[in-house]
Amino acid sequence: MKELVTTKNTSPLTFALPKGRLEDQVREHFGARDILFSFSDRKLVTEDSKGYFSLMLVKNADLPTYVMHGIAGLGVCGEDVLYEASSKLIKLKQLPFGSTRMCLAATKELSQQIKALGDWTSALRQGSLRVASKFTRFSRDYFHSLGIPVDLIKLNGSVELAPVLGLAPFIVDLVETGSTLKANDLEVVAVLQEIKVYLVANPAYYKQHYRRIDELVGLLD
């Protein structure tokens, strides 16, 4: 197993982890490289078994803020969150897990009507598109890039409810298996973007610790 040579006798690198699904995948990925860690007793800060990292567990959407302010120098984050936070961070490496899709979805009935018309973008150019989403910045920029006006409703969770309850006919959300959509009688109209997960760094932190960070990137291959 490779070791981080330049980490000896230095303070650990600060690393923010997103709570939830990605946390487990990072733990597994690091574990396969003999870097072990756990958060005990509801604590949100820990160190790994090798002393490479001081890890902090933060809410997914807050992770870019912690990294941008230098509280954590490094982090693991999806493109969706980075885009919403308009983060100016270095993407050091795409990680081989956690990928998902940003999708436009609607009720099955509406979705099939659109699909029957062929090109979904033409079908949506009928006035302003009403969309509910957690990802309002992404949605606005995406539809504007297609020349489609969009009327956005910001939601913080359970976005699938919006078409079901009549708040908005469309939603833009991350779709992994599609089971939540299916359970609510919704379906994907179009995949807007593949969302990848990256190891990210605060630019100034990278400059200060580039030798150790480059070694880490090599270790994570």
Partner 1 sequence: MKISPSTLLQLPSGATGLFLHEAHSHRRQVEKLNQLYDSWAYLPVHTPLLDFSEAYTGLVSEADAKRVYQMFDRDGHLLMLRWDITLFLVKQIRSMLSPKCPVLRLCYADSIMRHEDAEDIARNEFFQTGVELIGKPGLEGDLEVLLLLQQAFEALRLRPSVHVGSHSLIDAVSTELNSLQKEELSHAIKYRDQAQIEALLGPNLASDAKLFSLICPAAQAPEVLAPHLKSIKPASRDAVEQLLTLLSNLLDIEPSFDLHLDCSEIGSQGYHSGMVFQAYLDGISGPAAAGGRYDRLLERLGSPSPAAGFSIMLSRLLAVLPESAQSELYHAQGSTFQERVADAKRERQQGRRVSL
Check: CB of residue 17 under 8 Å from CB of residue 75: yes
The correct pick among 19, 33, 50, 91 for binding partner 1 (CB under 8 A) is 91
Least CB distance to partner 1 at residue 116 (A): 37
Least CB distance to partner 1 at residue 137 (A): 11
Q: Residue type for 110, please?
A: L
83 lies in the site for partner 1, by CB under 8 A? no
Query: In angstroms, rounded to a whole number, what is the distance separating the alpha carbons of residues 58 and 130?
Result: 32
The correct pick among 68, 105, 114, 220 for binding partner 1 (CB under 8 A) is 68
Least CB distance to partner 1 at residue 214 (A): 8
CA angle 99, 113, 188 (to 5 degrees): 10
The correct pick among 5, 9, 69, 177 for binding partner 1 (CB under 8 A) is 69
| CA nearest neighbour of 35 among 4, 68, 6 | 4
Contact positions with partner 1 (CB under 8 A) in 183-202: 202
The correct pick among 89, 155, 192, 195 for binding partner 1 (CB under 8 A) is 89
Check: CB of residue 218 under 8 Å from CB of residue 3: no
Query: In angstroms, rounded to a whole number, what is the distance separating the alpha carbons of residues 84 and 61?
Result: 8
Which stretches of the chain bind partner 1, using CB under 8 A?
64-65, 68-70, 85-92, 202-208, 210
